[in-house]
Structure 1
Amino acid sequence: MAADVLEPEYEGIIRNTLIEDLSKILYTYSNDGQILKELIQNAEDAGADKIAILYDERNSDKRIKQDSSYSKYFEGPALIVYNNEEFSDADWKGIRRIGTSIKKLDPSKVGRFGLGFKSVFHITDYPMIISGRLMMILDPYRDETRCCIPLELSKLKLYSGMNECYTALFQVFDFGQNVLDAGYYNGTMFRFPLRKETTELSDSVYNQEKIKNLLRVFKKEASLTLIFLKSLEEVSLYECMDSIYEQNPDYIVTIGGSKSEIAKQSRKAMQHKTIPDESFVNVYELVLVTTSKRQREDHKWLVMNRLEGISDASEGLLELATTLSYLPCVGIAVPVLSSDTFTGHIFCSLPLPMQAISMTKLPLHINGTFALSEDRKQLKWADKFSESNKEDSVQWNELLVSTVLPKAYIDLIMEIRNRNDEHLMLRCIPDLLEIDVIFKECISKLFRNLKDAPFLYTESGGGKWIRLKDAVFQIFSENTGNMINFMQDIRATLIYTMRQYKSCLVDTTGYERVYGILTKAFGQQPQDASPQFISERLLKIGPAYTTFKEKHKLNLLVYLISSREDHLLKSLELLPLANGAFIKFATNKVSNIFVCSSIVRQLCPGIEARLVRTVSDQVDEWILRLAKSGRTQLIEPGQSDVLKLISQSIEKILGHSKDNRTLRWQKQGQLNEKWLMFVWEYLRRDGVHLPHDLFILPHYDKLLRLNQPLIVESDDRCFLPASIVRCLKEIGVTVLNPLPCYINCCQEIYDKYVERPTVNGVMKLVADVCPKHVKNFNDNVQSSDKEEFVHFVGSTYSLNNAKTCFKKIKNV
């Protein structure tokens, strides 16, 4: 039986080779500027405060012995990175790991979120690290048990073939014979000989053009690198060895400004390893100075950090923090001086790659201990397929963004308010409809907090912070038609008015953007300087506007009347009269005010208090529309109204007629010859029937009414003898001098009121003579004049016809 018992043949698992494992890592991670970020990350985790990057363009072929077994590790050109902190024992151990990190359970390390160090194999086959007392060379082509080559610096020249190679490091970041003598290097230097041809590990070849491009991409983001780090204070870049020789970096980013020490201490204060009992919040100004060989720029940031404490964190957040070994920490950085085109970015201590998916569309940068996607380019976030079954890292990100970030945002808003920086405040208000969807809940909470918080600034009352419900935004209706060129002047008047009425006006630069944002966020428009608002303020608060200068009153009129909401003008003392005064708009017709054309206005001097003044073509049109509506005391005068106005003007200036026929006329006054000409032109042009009761007929120093016996002494065909003139005057006829051409051309005056100097004209007047004037004729006219009068009439009339006309005149 025993012979029938079998044992299985055991086999081992076939594992990838080191080259295969590294190739897989390289496939996951980008071959771009992220490589340099990983090295910055290592420096940060080590606690270094300086890092320097050098492109050593020298070809090492002539400087090293080619048949040495070490020569390939010292070839050039090379990318060299230095930081001023040493590798720890754990770092030496971690650099030898594949696929895992010694930092995985250390919440304070940036490296647990960043690219793996192994991404440097994109550019080299043989990374070299020099730190403290060791040099280590990584050679993935060796057996896995021999691929890491640790070398003691004090014994470096004793290694076979090394003596002809290590001189390639001389003059680079203080590495020289002194280091070999001491057997110690102060800091850490990485050296990566660039891959010149495709290899089994990678087909990525780095020539000078490609490395220059790598550095160029890095420089675009370098100014952001230090914003949320806690240790690094300087990043410098040397693009060639000459810059090293001259000790003059081609590009450098460093912490500067008068408050640099405060900023450095505040950054270090965020170096927590555990979650505190109470939330820890700090805020500081950070000035990052970027200097190149051509220029210097200062970038000033306000940085707010928040580490959620146990007392404030949700139960779910604390459970995930324990499970994932994460700290619930977020940060916000806003540029103190910025343009409207600034777009916020997502950071995980270092900025994620500059691409659309990492842009927050917030007006500030967001940092957090986020869980990142496998390629380290974006946050882990649920999609429609994983919504019901979220992994822990996704839930962590959601809780961090929805519960901790809103508090940090509010902390920032309150800090800005304490600093009295109204410009920065408005720039920090995000647009809820524009931001990335992952921040919607966070920003919705922000707005719920802002609704009753004093976050808007007004200069009213000497300057103060106010709540949204008390604010008036400097937003004006612009229905001013073709008066758009005057809108600036009108706006100045409205601002002046609101300040006089103590309105809490929000007019800080950027208020238009925030007005639109708040409208979308709360579903209704904040209070603006609408015509309705202006009208209510003028009516309810007091008559201060009545003491304004004329230009302000007219601008207020234009603004209100342009809205076409006529009720807004009711009871406001903004109706401009031709005499320069302003009266109230009224709904009754007790005292009509006439909206006349400029032609009519010049016919009516002396009664300007009953006429609206001219403002502008557009405003005059609006006022005329108001008159036609019948809702106010305004009237568009008809022909009869114009004649009454002219009559009132004459009476106002010349007074009452004693005989009801004549008025003494002062030709040099307001009712001068020019005025009289305008009156007759108006009557003739507009086809108005001549008014018989107007004093508009000139006769020496008088103005006559038309409803009386009138005859002209001569015209272009006839004339009256002097004796006839004397006779006519005695029977009450006014004999006129030849009429001015502007009257003479009016046919109606001869048809109805003035007789021509003919026998027929005379006889018509005689036929209408009254008994009183007959007596004057008989008593006062000389016999010779009477005879000539009879002869004048008889020259045309037969005796029988003349007798009828003379019946009224006795004793002729």
Structure 2
Amino acid sequence: MEDESSDEEFSAMRLPSLIDMLKRLLEQYSGGQILKELIQNAEDGGATKVKVMFVNKHNQPSTTLQMWKENPIQFAMKEPALCVYNDGIFTKEDWDGIAAIQCSGKENEPLKVGRFGLGFKSVFHITDTPLILSGNKLMIINPTANVYDVVITKKLRKIDEKSKKEMLKLMSGIFGFSPEVFHLQDGFNGTIFWFPLRTVESDLCKTIYDEKKIRDIFHGFTSLAPSILLFLKKIESIEIYEKKSTIQKLFEVCLDGDDLLTLRQERKGFVQDIERFNGQFASQPIKNILRPKVRSEGFNWLKKETSEDEWLVINHYHGGHVSAELKELVEDDDWPYSPYVSIAACLSKPITKGHVFCFLPLPLEGQSLTGLPVHVNGFFALSQDRHHVRWNTSEQDRNNSHTEKSILWNQYLVKEILPQVYTNLILQLIDDEKIRSLPLTSSERSQRADVVYRTLPNSKTVTENWKNLIDPIFQKLYSTACIFTKRNGGIWAKPQNTIFTKPQDENMVDSVEHTYLLCGRNISRPPKFILDAFRKHGPINFISAEHLREELLQHPGVYSQIDLKVKLNLLHYILDNNVNCLQGLSLLPLEDGNFSTFTTGRTETVYIFKDVDDMKMFPGLESLFVKSEIGSDLYHMISSKTD
């Protein structure tokens, strides 16, 4: 019979077990992110160096849950393993956070990369029992243990002799670990993670990690490595090793160059400047300009060509005038993101696939996420798996749904803040010579123009969600000196004060450009997409037969400065475009080597022969005949288009 003594009752909601929570977390994130997450935690911990070692040996003593209680260190000290070192030291907050599940201790620290919540837990992709050693303390986590026995912490000085021997047997000589750390007051000077690889299926995860999978993780990392340090605030080098019978270095990426100390101080100063705003707007934008040199090199089975690249990076913390919508988001106490964006341009070579960073790069895909020729970094709102920047879905677009804060935030970053930073990057590339100890040569200035032009966004390649930044960039640049001309050895001019060439025969364009420069005019030939973008914001002037005629009439002394080839190319150009513009120009080549002026109604006629051999019948009269050795095409054009 049903109990009717009470019609209502309170009860707790059923919560999943720790194993189930970790399983669901691992389903959301790929194992390929492990190294990035560990680098992220090292960065947030103030480390400057990260070293990773694959301990490719086999030491798998049988273990039981009873052994976990009796000797947890022996339970965790197994091989093969992934060992990760950084030179930072855990704080109390770090120890508390690493033992928490699906929450982050960094949510109120807006400049910390790891505040997004995934962090350390991704290591459970590869291991069941991670061991963490930092300073004078050690922690081991075993999610398969009784819920009250999952985490064990010990002071290094309190570790028993048997456990010390077990640790030294596997770790001695790795990243400076030695017997002395057990006796020093401060313990180990740094942090070591020891992740025994899962070699058999477990309740936590069925995926087994072997040598091939670790190699895949390393290879995946090296594809990102040349740019991975660009937007970090502290880390300066990352190294990868393998230990079998001996230790071999496999890969290294590091900040390089004589000005590393200056770079370090500039990074630190920028962070100090913006930390005081705690995620709120500054009264004025705070800008940080860096010129890092990054070197990466692979060895052994990670061998790859050494890369040495020079970059220009602009970090920008926003302030000053902003839209009411963006201001409302930033001032929302529950909004965790800071108005912080950065852009990096490579000075050494073109960027073929511009990428998106949230301080560390998002996973690479077959195509560029942006279509931009630069790398973009910022506090973007990301998808749950941290693979993508959040944008409207096609269904949301159809319904005009733009209400999600995270989507709005990303849109505002792209259309309000990033254009300012991108424009500053271009102007900095142009003005960079001002801070050099030696001026650029004419050739170096021309090469810098190539860098500027290839760094500008092309609307034909930029992906849809990033197109909003293009027009504001070119609108601002239209009124600045951003077009390179070879005049006076190489200067920058405003688009409206420049004459542009059109796609034509290269020889003709070279000659026309040379003539305009001799006339003291700014002339340039940037890529077509740049001119197309500028046309939206003001008039663009192109070379023409009419304008070229005006310049030659105003500067008659130029004729004596140009040779036969240039004059013939100018003649060809005007005949191609507007034969009437030849009037008054001394561009008619004569057989005696001189040039005559095109006029109408003159008494002295210049003749042209259909058969040039007929000219031989009139010796001594070469000044009356059009020069024959000027190419058959040009000779026939003169014959057919002039009287």
TM-score by length of 1: 0.70
Report the residue type matching 1:303 in the other structure: V
Given candidates 306, 311, 316, the residue that maps to 1:301 is 311
Aligned to 2:296: 290
Aligned to 1:594: 607
Aligned to 1:170: 172
1:192-244 Cα offsets, whole Å, 9 max, x none, are: 11111222221211111111111111111122111001011111111225664
1:125-524 mapped onto 2 (5 Å cutoff): 125-157=128-160, 164=166, 167-182=169-184, 184-241=187-244, 244=247, 249-271=249-271, 272-273=274-275, 274=278, 275=280, 276-293=282-299, 296-309=306-319, 311-321=320-330, 322=332, 323-339=334-350, 342-356=352-366, 359-386=369-396, 387-420=400-433, 421-473=448-500, 475=502, 477-478=504-505, 488=507, 490-506=508-524, 511-513=525-527, 515-522=528-535
Please state whether the residue corresponding to 1:143 is helix, strand or coil.
coil
1:551-602 Cα offsets, whole Å, 9 max, x none, are: 43223222322x1521122221212233333222223375443321213322
1:482-540 Cα offsets, whole Å, 9 max, x none, are: xxxxx54x55533432221112133xxxx543x33322452599444454443332234
Q: Distance in 1 between matches of 2:219 and 2:196?
A: 19
Q: Distance in 2 between matches of 1:548 and 1:518?
A: 29
Distance 1:316 1:525, change over 3 A: closer
Report how far residue 461 of structure 1 moved: 2.9
Aligned to 2:436: none
Q: Distance in 1 between matches of 2:415 and 2:194?
A: 43
Larger Rg: 1
Q: Bigger shift: 451-460 or 79-88?
A: 451-460
1:83-162 mapped onto 2 (5 Å cutoff): 83-113=86-116, 115-157=118-160
Please state whether the residue corresponding to 1:418 is helix, strand or coil.
helix
2:578 equivalent to 1:558: no
Q: Distance in 1 between matches of 2:168 and 2:142?
A: 17
Distance 1:215 1:424, change over 3 A: same
Report the residue type matching 1:558 in the other structure: H
Unaligned 5+ runs, structure 2: 434-447
Q: Bigger shift: 59-68 or 221-230?
A: 59-68
Please state whether the residue corresponding to 2:160 is helix, strand or coil.
helix
Question: Alignment identity in percent?
Answer: 31
Q: Distance in 2 between matches of 1:385 and 1:593?
A: 74
Unaligned 5+ runs, structure 1: 479-486, 628-633, 635-812
Report how far residue 175 of structure 1 moved: 2.1
Q: Distance in 1 between matches of 2:57 and 2:144?
A: 25
Aligned to 1:617: 632
Report how far residue 344 of structure 1 moved: 1.5
Report the residue type matching 2:596 in the other structure: I
Distance 1:358 1:25, change over 3 A: farther
Aligned to 2:27: 27
Report how far residue 383 of structure 1 moved: 2.7
Q: Distance in 2 between matches of 1:36 and 1:504?
A: 51
Give yes or no for contact 2:129–2:196 (8 Å, CA) kept in 1: yes
1:377-426 Cα offsets, whole Å, 9 max, x none, are: 11111234334242111111111121111111122222222213434322
How many pairs does the alignment contain?
Answer: 604
Q: Distance in 2 between matches of 1:547 and 1:178?
A: 80
Q: Distance in 2 between matches of 1:4 and 1:577?
A: 120
Please state whether the residue corresponding to 2:520 is helix, strand or coil.
coil
Please state whether the residue corresponding to 2:57 is helix, strand or coil.
coil
Q: Distance in 1 between matches of 2:552 and 2:117?
A: 62
Give yes or no for contact 1:46–1:85 (8 Å, CA) kept in 2: yes
Give yes or no for contact 2:77–2:166 (8 Å, CA) kept in 1: no
Give yes or no for contact 1:259–1:285 (8 Å, CA) kept in 2: no
Q: Distance in 2 between matches of 1:212 and 1:146?
A: 33
Q: Distance in 2 between matches of 1:45 and 1:456?
A: 41
1:252-286 Cα offsets, whole Å, 9 max, x none, are: 22222122112111112232332333321110211
Report the residue type matching 1:333 in the other structure: A
Distance 1:608 1:151, change over 3 A: same
Structure number with the bigger relative contact order (C-alpha 8 A, sep ≥ 6) is 2
Report how far residue 167 of structure 1 moved: 3.3
Q: Distance in 2 between matches of 1:547 and 1:92?
A: 77
Give yes or no for contact 2:402–2:408 (8 Å, CA) kept in 1: no
Please state whether the residue corresponding to 2:129 is helix, strand or coil.
coil
Q: Distance in 2 between matches of 1:178 and 1:185?
A: 9
Report the residue type matching 2:221 in the other structure: F
Give yes or no for contact 1:50–1:232 (8 Å, CA) kept in 2: yes
2:562 equivalent to 1:544: no
Q: Distance in 2 between matches of 1:254 and 1:320?
A: 37
Aligned residues: CA RMSD: 2.8
Give yes or no for contact 2:63–2:75 (8 Å, CA) kept in 1: no
Aligned to 2:592: 579
Q: Distance in 1 between matches of 2:465 and 2:311?
A: 24
Distance 1:4 1:569, change over 3 A: closer
Report the residue type matching 2:90 in the other structure: F
